[in-house]
Amino acid sequence: MTIPIRRMATGASRPTLPRHVRLHFDPVRQAWALLSPEKILWPDETSLAILRRCDGSAGVDTIADELAREYGADAETVRADVVAFLQDWSDRMVVRL
């Protein structure tokens, strides 16, 4: 039996949404949902800002820097929050690192 390797979020990780996961706007609820087989997650505004940048082109450090500028927040605090968020959602198998 092979034990799956847990990927760890780092500043150099380039997160993407797996093929089976997609963002979808629900017009009834007027909210964005992250759809995955057997799961529906309702990201808040901050989570959505991170998820929209998970296209494989930007690293975690770049995503955090962009968000820190956009929200006028401390870059190191934002970086720690982005890494923790991506690690959590990677562990849920809805973000690929």
pLDDT in tens, 56-76: 999 999 999 999 999 999 999
Band of residue 29 on the pLDDT scale cut at 50, 70, 90: very high
Whether the pLDDT of residue 4 is over 90: the answer is no
Quick one: pLDDT at residue 5?
82
Residue 34 · residue 41 · CB < 8 Å: yes
Domains of the chain: 22-91 (1.10.10.1150)
CA 50 to chain centre: 5
What predicted TM-score, i.e. pTM, was given to this entire model?
Answer: 0.90
